[in-house]
Structure 1
Amino acid sequence: MTDAAHGQLLGRYATEGLRLAAVAAVYYGSGKLGLLQELVRGQVTPLWPPTGIALVALLLWGVRMWPGIALGAFLVNVTLGPSILPVLVITAGNTLAPVCACLLLRRVGFRPALDRLQDALALVFLGALGGMLISATVGVSVLVASGALTADDFWPTWSVWWTGDAMGVLVIAPCLLVLRFARWPRDVPALRWAEAVALLAGTAGVTAVATHSSVSLLFVVIPFIVWASLRFQLAGAAPCVLIASVIAITAGAEGAGPFDGHDLLAQMVILQTFNGTVSLTALLLSAIITERDRTFEEIEEVCERLTEALSRLEADVTLDEWPVPRPDGSEHRAGPGP
């Protein structure tokens, strides 16, 4: 092996090692943030950001990122217990879930740009709802088997775990993918920036009021998500969903507003119905608008090419020289002469 090839190989290994370390560190840090809103046994939360981070890392850098995910998951769970063996099994479930979700998405031709309706649907049903069944089922089963939870707590805990992991994909992954594929806009009017700021502030304000009101007002957040999707597509809708979900989760953990007076399962139904609704609205509507705009651009391009092709016709070819069908089915060329 030449020195140049050896240097390239070392550089590739170094890059991969840095990526693995970065994935593990971000997984651990986001996991600690997610645990601030824990609802069950100090380790089950209604929003688990590491699942979205792990899935994006696998989609962008490949399945070989799984050791970084496993290391981050282990570091988060080892301090929570209940003992080393259950922690290892939980770590395996937390690693296997995003890996399977990534493989399922690749199987259906998922594009991380999320610019097609089929990509949005795949992320929802395969990446979030389907893939995260693994981590929730493995994790809660281990906690029950180890005696950390009773059998009666299985389904309430499972519902929190599954929806928390799924919301991590639906809320966090689109934001990260937007950061990866979005381009900073140029020559944007000041009014456009003002609209974006007003949209973010309005989403935060309305969500705060809706989640702390004794009257059920959660539905008033939906128009802001629709506004963001129509005007800014996923680049505007994803941050709005993140803001709304974080505020709603905080209110749910406090038992405020519409979450007051309900047991854990009922709180999760209310909270995750809201989170799922805003996430689905943002993802699907943004994808539809993006597809529509792309179709219009393609039509305009085809029209321009057609116009250019017609303009290149020979100057002596006129409309009078085009063949004209006769009543008997034959053709003749119109023009001067008999």
Structure 2
Amino acid sequence: MLTSRSNPRRWWPLVRMGLLVVAYAVSVWLGGLLVLPPENVSAMWPPSGVALAALLLTRYRQWPVLLLALFVAGVMAFVQGWDRLPSLTGVVAGNLLEAVVGAVLLRRLVRFHPSLDRVRDVLGLVVLAALVSCSLGATLGVGLPLARGELGPQGFWPTWRVFWIGDAMGVLVMAPLMLTWLTGGLGGWTRRLGGELAALLVCLGVATHLVFSTALPTAPNAIALHPMTYLAFPFLLWAALRFEARGSALATAVLSTVALWHTAHGSGPFAQAAWHNISLSYLQSFIAAASVSGLLLASALGERRRAQEEVSHLNQELRDSLRTLAATQAELVRRERMAALGELSATVAHEVRNPLGAIANAVAALRRLAPRDMEGPASGMLDIMDEEVRRLDLIVNDLLDFARPMEPRLQSQQLPPVVDGALSASLRSGPAHITVSRTLDESLPPIAVDPQLIHVALTNLFTNAVQAMPGGGTLTTKLEPDTRAGTPHARLTISDTGHGMAPEVRARIFEPFYTTRASGTGLGLAIVRRIVDSHHGEVAVHSTVGQGTTFTVWLPYASGPEQVTG
């Protein structure tokens, strides 16, 4: 059973076909109003353009039904008496046949785009449809009256020429109007752009009315050609430049409507006292030049705009690729540097630990051999040696931690107890005047972590925060859910109210062996980053000089956030 959402898709082709048939019938009726003596043909035959557009907007398999419906609608709209039914049937059949030929040629030879956004589409419409296929319709439309004796041989070519140009005008005026406005939608159109188009059409209509409402020339066979005839061309250029094919097609339609109406009523630069095929030819040539000029300019501008957009898109892709390449290269350099530093650190730690152990044992032996009540310089020297041994041992341990491969043994773990343990360990050696603000979301799902490694990382972060406040301050930690790159994470923030960091210090804070403290090794935060990276998480720092520093750590859940914790 079809749902309500699928029904419009099913019935839309039929609705569109019905609208096209109605548009064709109306265009046949309007074209009949432009049939004037003595040629008894239309100066512009709109059905030729409507039929061509209807075929180009539908699929081949829909053509038989569409053509039958167009034929019936065209005959019923045009017939004025049953005695002329055979001639009118031939005219409508020839009109539909030329539309079929034009649509097939455009689709097969040009790969036609109904949006008319390429120069080849406009040239194909002019050459294959207006020139080639319309000549076929004109031959059939004039040949039948000639065969029935309704038209003499001497009037064949003058009538054929007006008939052919009238069909061509219908193709050049109506087909672009329907094709451009029935494809592509209204994406990108704003109220301001619509207002500009409306103002353009009004100005064009007024200008064309002023030019074509001039009085009929009094001299016999005179045609009132003057420069004002081409006053409409700046508006056509405006339409092409600002609105491309859609604006050009609509402007041409307005120009043609006003010009034909005034010329049919005996006024304008192309009208004569007797309606003659020469005046028709002048008017049709004017409309053809206006239509083709506007469409060619609009299509050329459309191609240029798309080329610029493609170049901009390629440039953006190139910039993104270069940025990615630079980031990848920097990451490779960082990893190579880290590997070299790790190897060097392991070697140094190994070579230093053995003599360091010997020195520690020697100091312990000296203390045992010395008198228990020994005081003075000797005792102070032993204390100094003991302190330096412990400091060197701490450095060696940091070097080994940094050099050791990070292969965490991940397990599902509640994070709040790990945070509490690291915080307590850091506060034992910190100043006494530190206020702790702790907010931990106990309902967080388990996190996939190595508890020992995460304890080391968080202890380093808490220790840094404590050491940044030697005179006391506030240590704030918050654990809460978050989303990172569309993936649920736990977010841990550790903030202090210490002296903060300058931007140049913050940029290098995670580099190995970089430190701002005289007693530091510069490996603590480098180890933090390695541990967090090995857990597929992220760590970031934000600091303001004189206000404090905030470290943020994101760690992914062991499973989806919907998991029930226990």
Query: TM-score per shorter chain, which class?
Result: 0.7 to 0.9
8 A Cα contact 2:39 2:276, kept in partner: no
Deviations 1:11-39 (A, max 9, x none): 97x77766555443322221111222222
Aligned-partner SS, 2:41: coil
Matched residues in 2 for 1:312 and 1:15: separation?
46
Matched residues in 2 for 1:279 and 1:311: separation?
47
Deviations 1:104-125 (A, max 9, x none): 1011111112111101110111
Aligned-partner SS, 2:186: coil
Matched residues in 1 for 2:34 and 2:46: separation?
12
How far did 1:137 drift?
A: 0.9
Matches within 5 A, 1:1-338: 21-40=18-37, 44-63=41-60, 64=63, 65-79=66-80, 83-108=84-109, 109-186=111-188, 188=190, 190=192, 192-213=193-214, 214=224, 216=226, 217-261=228-272, 264-313=276-325, 314-315=329-330
How far did 1:42 drift?
A: 9.0
Moved more, 129-138 or 283-292: 129-138
How far did 1:180 drift?
A: 1.3
The residue identity in structure 2 corresponding to 1:165 is D
Moved more, 60-69 or 279-288: 60-69
Which runs of 5 or more structure 1 residues have no equivalent in the other structure?
319-338
Matched residues in 1 for 2:162 and 2:189: separation?
45
Matched residues in 1 for 2:318 and 2:107: separation?
37
How far did 1:143 drift?
A: 1.1
The residue identity in structure 1 corresponding to 2:122 is A
Distance change >3 Å, CA 148–CA 177, structure 1 → 2: same
Matched residues in 2 for 1:115 and 1:241: separation?
17
How far did 1:74 drift?
A: 2.2
How far did 1:161 drift?
A: 1.4
Structure index of larger Rg: 2
Aligned-partner SS, 2:320: helix
How far did 1:48 drift?
A: 1.3
Deviations 1:185-232 (A, max 9, x none): 557363x44432221111111111222335522212111101110111
Distance change >3 Å, CA 15–CA 225, structure 1 → 2: closer
Matched residues in 1 for 2:264 and 2:200: separation?
26
1:332 corresponds to = none
8 A Cα contact 1:182 1:235, kept in partner: no
The residue identity in structure 2 corresponding to 1:52 is G
Matched residues in 2 for 1:270 and 1:100: separation?
27
Matched residues in 1 for 2:136 and 2:264: separation?
25
Distance change >3 Å, CA 151–CA 195, structure 1 → 2: same
The residue identity in structure 2 corresponding to 1:162 is W
Matched residues in 1 for 2:69 and 2:308: separation?
42
How far did 1:90 drift?
A: 2.6
Distance change >3 Å, CA 86–CA 215, structure 1 → 2: closer
How far did 1:238 drift?
A: 1.2
How far did 1:93 drift?
A: 1.1
Matched residues in 1 for 2:261 and 2:56: separation?
29
Distance change >3 Å, CA 31–CA 272, structure 1 → 2: same
Matched residues in 1 for 2:82 and 2:161: separation?
20
8 A Cα contact 2:237 2:294, kept in partner: yes
Matched residues in 2 for 1:144 and 1:47: separation?
21
Matched residues in 2 for 1:206 and 1:83: separation?
40
Higher relative contact order (CA 8 A, sep 6+): 1
Distance change >3 Å, CA 132–CA 302, structure 1 → 2: same
2:484 corresponds to = none
Matched residues in 2 for 1:107 and 1:280: separation?
22
Matched residues in 1 for 2:12 and 2:39: separation?
35
Matched residues in 2 for 1:187 and 1:121: separation?
27
TM-score by length of 2: 0.51
Distance change >3 Å, CA 151–CA 246, structure 1 → 2: same
Matched residues in 2 for 1:224 and 1:16: separation?
36
Structure having the higher helix fraction is 1
Deviations 1:288-330 (A, max 9, x none): 0000000000001111111111111211689xxxxxxxxxxxx
1:322 corresponds to = none
Count of residues in correspondence between the two structures: 309
The residue identity in structure 1 corresponding to 2:156 is F
8 A Cα contact 1:73 1:95, kept in partner: no
Structure having the higher strand fraction is 2
Distance change >3 Å, CA 195–CA 187, structure 1 → 2: closer
Matched residues in 2 for 1:29 and 1:107: separation?
29
Matched residues in 2 for 1:254 and 1:96: separation?
32
8 A Cα contact 1:20 1:68, kept in partner: no
Across the aligned residues of Structure 1 and Structure 2, the Cα RMSD in angstroms comes to 2.6
The share of aligned pairs that are identical, in percent, is: 33
Which runs of 5 or more structure 2 residues have no equivalent in the other structure?
215-223, 334-566
Deviations 1:52-93 (A, max 9, x none): 111111111134122122222322343256534333333321
Matched residues in 1 for 2:16 and 2:24: separation?
12
Deviations 1:260-297 (A, max 9, x none): 33751211121011110111011101100000000000
